[in-house]
Each structure stands twice: as structure tokens, then as C-alpha cells.
A and B are shown apart, each in its own frame.
Chain A
Amino acid sequence: MTLAALDRETLGYGRAAVLPGLSFALAPGERVVLLGRSGVGKTTLLNAMHDRLARDHRTALVPQDQALVPQLSVLKNVLMGRLDDHGALYNLSNLLHVRRADRAGVAEVLAPLGLAELADRPVRALSGGQKQRVALGRAWWRGGAVLIGDEPVSAVDETQAEALLGQMRDRFPTALLALHDVALARAFATRLVGLRRGGILFDAPATEVSDGDIAALYAH
């Protein structure tokens, strides 16, 4: 059984295609991490899988550039994860004054992220690591069957990253991430996928991928 799959599809456009004839599937309960050098097509694959998944499943997204609205508060940026659950009037009144229930709900998401004190601070006033945690908060608040994350913990230190990925594991049954930190990836993933030069070099349970496989991925 799969949540979504790509079957010999070419990703990227025209001559800029980065992943020709690619097949990839995601099953419920899997935590998949994409590894590979930059420019190899991890983001392209994540975006394609997100579009595919979002058709039938509630999907939370943590994009690499976070895509926050710097002028709005942490609270309102997190609320954006659920705009589609409500009508325009509800959202509009929430923008003017956040409902108590929503504020309380978001507070529960923010506390474990260490952002409880910052709920009313505009995002532009935050540090890089704090912004990244807001982007995670937006995904936590959205919730769903799957989380797609593009380097979701790149701006925080290793200890924090582990804790954040722990929270992610508890909140989402299935996840598909791109990570550059191999140790983090090994600790988090049930399945590792190595991308190299336009294709998949390996795709195996995390325990079966050797250090040699990974070295080959990053070798010149």
C-alpha cells in the first residue's frame, strides 16, 4: 500500500530536467530521508511528492526557505497552517483578533518548540533558528497524515535538531525529508534514499545502508 507514487516520471522542465524517468513511492508509517549533494534534485522530488500527496491526504509542508510572513506575529504565521479549514470570515476576524481557542491551541504547539514567549513577536524580529521553529510550528499546527520537510532543521544546533525531529516523529505517522546531516538522518529515518546525478543510487531500509554507500553519494 502506498500514499503516493511516481512512476517513471521526469521531474524538472525540458532541458533542465534533473530527475528523468524516476520512480518513487511512499508508504504509510515510513520515515524517508533523501540524501545527496546540493543541486541533485532533492527539492524537486519533495515538491513533486508534495503535489501528489496533497491531492488525497492532509499534508504539512516545511519548505527550505520557510516562506514565513515577516510582518505578522509568530502566532499568526502558525495559524496559517489551518487557513483552509475555515472560511474567509473566520480567518479575517482571526487576523484582527485571534480567538481564544486558537491562541490556546497554538500555545500548546509553541511550548515544546521553545517559542511560547515569542507568540506575539513579529517574525522579522526573530533569529534564523527561531524562524525555522516557527515554520515547524506551522506544520505541527496543520498536522496530517504526512509531513514533507526540506532541510527542516538546518538552522538549529544538533541537540535541538534531534529533539525537533523527535517531536516530528510523534506528530506525523509518515514523513519525507531532505537532510544534509547523515547522523541525524540515520537516527530519524526508517528508509534512506540516495540521489546522485539524475537518479536514485540507493533506496533501502536505514539499517541496510552502509557508510560506504553514503560516501559514494558525496564522492567526486
Chain B
Amino acid sequence: MATSRLSTPTEARRSARREGWTRPRVVTLFLALALLALPFADFGLAGHDPGAALSRMLAGFLRPDFGAVEQIGRAIWLTVAFAVAGVAAGASSGLVLAPFYHLRAVRWLCIALRSVHELFWALMLMQILGISPLTGVLAIALPYAGIFAKVFSEQLDEADPRPAEVLPRGTDALSRFLYARAPLALTAMKHYTLYRLECGMRASAVLGFVGLPTLGFQLDSFFRMGDYGAASAIMICYVVLIASVRQWMRPALAPLWLLGSVVTLALVKSPPMGSGALMRFLTEDIVPAPLRDGWDLAGLLHWLAPLVTDEMLPGLVATFVVAQIALALTGALAFAGFGLIVPRVTPRWGRALGHLGLVILRSFPEYMLAYLFLQVFGPSMLPAVLALALHNGAIISHLLGREGETLLPTLRRDAPRGLTLWGWELAPRLSGPFLALCLYRWEIILRETAVMGLLGIATLGFYIDSAMAELRLDRAVVLLIATGLVTAGIDALSRALRRRTGAGLSGQTRVEGC
């Protein structure tokens, strides 16, 4: 009984204090880490004139040009198709895996699947499948299967166990699951799948930056041509599309969307790959070079040592520098910003503006924002940090603001308004969810930071991309595994910290993050 008593909020807080993991201390620790990282960060503008670039872009953005409607329409529709097909495949595999998630082998498989970023999956799959539709679908489906399996299994665990308990003994496991377990979690699962589709739309758009025919590809070509009007138009379409997902994706229409997506993707032409690409990839390409002609330990160490010291470690350091600074900035923005969308703190027109700003920042994935900032500030860590902080800050602001709104009716009748309400009532009450959300985003920020290396920022992704470009896939795989391990490690650390600080979240809020 001792354990169940410890979990009451007061006791948890007391035990947290005993162990020294109070919320202010954790916040201070993270701020200190960010400050420590600052001197190592490269924020130079490298001869770029951000003013001129920004004014050129802004001028274009203020005059969106929908003239290239055919290209825009095709890119948007393919973005949707990849997202729908990828999420559908990921969700179905996740559903099959979820009942077995308590098995260690399944759990580890899922952790491995989801600790590798969609873009990295795409780069790997391209070695086998080329730039084909299947590459894009699998790049989304594989990590999503791992995520869906985890979330679905949690949702099944949280469902009412009683109907399953009263079923006649001797009812087989499948019937038991389909009649008395799955229906209870189905609403939550549907809701989550819809939410994941939004994430999938972002992922699908970003896949364009590595060559798949989605929005990122089209955006990149418009930028290369300096056609900011068209770039602006496609981004407006994209924001509208994501903001209206709940309007156009109805459960009843899902089969139609899926059918349309599969047909579309089947019609996409892709360059053929030589036969045996998969076997060559598995038995040759990803085997460390010194081992291809037999076991050679000395050779392996000789191969591994420079890889670790010259690529893995510098990549890791840069990844952490960017991620920690971005996390601190994320927290600051979110904490300062969530009041923007809470009634009684901000007047109606201010809230409308706040919502608009947050929707825009939430719609654009970190990677795409970083790409945009890169055009303005040139290659340094600055675009990455800004993109990560704005996107994640907007997500946390949105979720906190929503929590804050639900708090309003519970406040005393004579509660203050405006900033006083924000500072005295909302901020203290939301400090737990705030910290939990920041810790939750920590892992996501790290994942995204690593992948931003593909944009030329010296994080882990940079070294992975270079290894792939040189067709040294064995090196890329080692770096990918290191990235996955670090991501999974941060995930575990974040969970432990959330538990220690008693910073919990309601189920609804907890799962909303991509």
C-alpha cells in the first residue's frame, strides 16, 4: 500500500523535495545548461545581410502569387496523399502491435522505430527503393507504427477493464480484445489518429526537402527561383489545409481519402532501382567496411575511432548546444505567450491575433521554419534555434492556454483580470503542466535538432547526410544508431524528471505533440 500512498500529489511533492527535484530547481538547471551552451553556439551571420533578405522575402510574401496553381495543387495533394497513406499504414501496424506492447521485444522494436526521424528513414529507404512513393510512405509509417503502438497500448490500458472481466471464461483472446477492449478505447484512438494525421502532414511536407515530390520540394524550387510570391501562396494553402484537417478528414470519409491517396501514389512515376538493392544494402552497404571480408577487430576499431572522435562527438555536442538553448527559449516563449489566448487575460481581438500567430507557427514544422530562417540569416545555429523555439513554444502556449481556459470557471468570482490574473492565478496553477510539456518537448526538440543537420547546421544529421552522400552507409548507420540512442535516452530521462517533479498531464494534452 505504501506505493499507492506515495502517489498522492502532496506526498509526491514532499518526496520530490526530499530528493531535491523541485520544479524551480529543474527549471534553474535547464536555464543553466542553456547558458553553459551559449559560448559554444555559432550565431554568426556569415556575411549575410538579414535585413535585405528579409525585406525581399516579406515583399514577396505580402503579394502571394497563386499563378503556379498546377504545381501548387500537385504538391499539396501529394503531401496529403503521402500523409494519409503513411499514417494509415502506421496506425494499422501500431494497432496490431499495441496488444503485445508489454512484450520486451515488441517494446524495443517500437522504441527503435520511433527514435529515428522520418527524414533519416527516408534517406535510408532511398538507398533501397530510390525516390519512390513507397519510400515516402514507409518513412512516415515506420516511426509512426512505433508511436501508435505505444499510445494505443496506453489507451487500451486506461480503458475500463470490467467488461473484459465478466466475459465468459474460454472466450478466445481475439474476441475478448475486439468486443470488450478495443471498443472502449476506440474513440480515444480515432482522436489520436486524426491528431497524428496533422503530424503526418508536416512530416510529409518536410520529406520534400530530401527529394520526394511533396510541398517541401516545391517550396525549395520556388525559393531557388526567387519566386517568393509563389512560395507565399503555397505556404498559405498549407496552413489553411492543416488548420482545417478536422473539417475535411471525417471518419466516414477516411476510406475515400485513403483510396484516393493510394491511387495517386501508385501513379507517381519513379526511377527504377536495380534488382537486389535490398540484399546489397543489408549484406554489404551497412556492414562496417573492415568487416566486409571477414571479422577484423583491429580494423574495426581503427575504423570506428575517427568516426567517434571526428563526427559523432562533435555532432553530439552541436546537437546538444542547439537543443538546450532552443529548449530554454521554447520555455520562455511559451510561459510568456500562453496568456495571449486566454479570455480575461487578453481582450478578444488580441486573442484572435494570438490564435492566428500560434496556428501559423504550429503548422510549419521546425525543419521548414529553419529552412526559411536559413534563407534570411545564412547558415549558423541561429535559424535552427529560432525555428525550434518558435514552433515548440507555440505548441506549448496553445496547450497551456487551453488548460488555462478550462481553469477560468473554477477561479473565485472576484479573481483579477489581465496580467495580474496571468501572473497570480494561471501561471502558478499551470507550472506543473508547463514543466511537463517542456520536458516532453525536450526529446522532440533533440530529434529535430539532429535532423536539421541536413540543412547544413553541424548537428548529427550533417554527418549522417555527408556519410550518405559519400555512399558510406556503414558510417551513416553507426551515426544513426547513436542519434537513436541519445533520443531514447533523453526520452527516458524526461519521463523520470516528470515523475520526480510530479509534473503530470491529462491524457488528452499528453499525447498531443509531434
Contact B163 A69 (CB under 8 A): yes
Partner among A70, A76, A83 whose Cβ is within 8 Å of the Cβ of B176: A83
Chain B min CB distance to A124 (Å) = 10
Cβ–Cβ contact B168 & A81, under 8 A = yes
Asked whether A65 is an interface residue with its Cβ less than 8 Å from the other chain, the reply is yes
Interface positions, chain B 169-210, Cβ under 8 Å from A, are 169-176, 178-180, 183-184, 186-187
Write the chain A residue with the least CB distance to B172: A88
B169 touches A72 (CB 8 A): no
Does A80 lie within 8 Å of B183, measured CB to CB?
A: no
Q: Is A83 in contact with B171, judged by CB distance below 8 angstroms?
A: yes
| In the complex with contacts A80-B179, A83-B175, A83-B179, A71-B163 CB distance below 8 A | no
Closest beta carbon of chain A to B154's beta carbon, Å: 18
- Residues in B whose Cβ lies below 8 Å from that of A69: 163, 179-180, 183-184
With beta carbons under 8 angstroms apart, the residue of B162, B174, B176, B186 that contacts A67 is B162
**A73-110 vs B: 1/0 string, CB under 8 Å?**
00010011111101110011001000000000000000
Cβ–Cβ contact B162 & A65, under 8 A: yes
A68 CB–B CB distance under 8 Å = yes
A198 within 8 A of B: no
Within 8 Å of chain B (Cβ to Cβ): is A31? no
Q: Is the CB of A63 within 8 A of B162?
A: yes
CB-nearest residue of chain A relative to B174? A88
Q: A-side binding surface: helix, strand, loop or mixed?
A: helix
Q: How far is the CA of A70 from the CA of B187 in the complex (A)?
A: 11
Q: Does B167 contact A (CB under 8 A)?
A: yes
Q: Is the CB of B166 within 8 A of A63?
A: yes
Task: Establish whether residues A92 and B166, one from each chain, have CB atoms under 8 Å apart when the complex forms.
Answer: no
Partner of A87, one of B168, B169, B172: B172
| Min distance, Cβ B183 to any Cβ of chain A, angstroms | 4
* A19 to B361 Cα, complex, angstroms: 62
Task: Check B310 for interface membership: any CB of A closer than 8 A.
Answer: no
A142 at the interface (CB under 8 A from B): yes
Residues of chain B within 8 A (CB-CB) of A142 are 168
How many angstroms between the C-alpha atoms of A142 and B168 in the bound complex? 9
Chain B residues in 8 Å Cβ range of A68: 163
Cβ 8 A contact of B183, one of A54, A72, A88: A72
> Is the CB of B70 closer than 8 A to any CB of chain A?
no
B193 → A minimal CB distance (Å): 16
Cα distance A80–B163 in the bound complex, in angstroms: 9
Bound Cα distance from A84 to B171, whole angstroms: 4
Q: How many angstroms from the CA of A90 to the CA of B168 in the assembled complex?
A: 16
Assess whether A80 is in contact with B167, with CB atoms less than 8 Å apart. Answer: yes
CB distance A83 to B168 under 8 Å? yes
Complex contacts, B173 vs chain A, CB 8 Å: 88
Q: How far is the CB of B164 from chain A (nearest CB, A)?
A: 8
Residue A61, interface by CB 8 Å: yes
Q: Is the CB of A84 within 8 A of B168?
A: yes
Closest to B162 in A: A67
Complex-state Cα separation, A68 to B293, whole angstroms: 63
| B19 at interface, CB cutoff 8 A | no
Q: Which residues of B contact A95 (CB under 8 A)?
A: 178-179
Q: Which residue on chain B has the smallest CB distance to residue A79? A: B179
For window 441-466 of B, CB contacts with A under 8 Å fall at none
- What is the CA–CA distance of A204 and B171 in the complex, to the nearest angstrom? 37
Is B470 positioned at the interface, with any CB of A under 8 Å from its CB?
no
Report the Cα distance A76→B167, complex, angstroms.
13
Min CB gap A202→B, angstroms: 30
How many Å from the CB of A168 to the closest CB on chain B?
17
Interchain CA distance A174-B55 in the complex, whole Å: 86
- A87: chain B residues at CB < 8 Å are 172
Q: For the complex, what is the distance from the CA of A67 to the CA of B176, rounded to whole Å?
A: 13
A70 to B184, CA, bound (A): 7
Counting from the closest, the 5 A-B pairs by CB-CB distance are: A84-B170, A67-B162, A91-B175, A88-B174, A84-B168
Q: Assuming A72-B183, A80-B163, A91-B175, what are 17 further A-B pairs, CB within 8 angstroms? A: A61-B166, A65-B162, A67-B160, A67-B162, A67-B165, A68-B163, A69-B179, A69-B183, A72-B179, A76-B179, A80-B179, A83-B167, A83-B179, A84-B171, A87-B172, A88-B174, A91-B172
A interface residue numbers (CB < 8 A to B): 54, 61, 63, 65, 67-72, 76, 79-84, 86-88, 91-92, 95, 142
Q: List 14 A-B contacts (CB under 8 A).
A: A63-B166, A67-B163, A69-B183, A71-B183, A80-B179, A82-B168, A83-B167, A83-B171, A83-B179, A91-B172, A91-B179, A92-B174, A95-B179, A142-B168
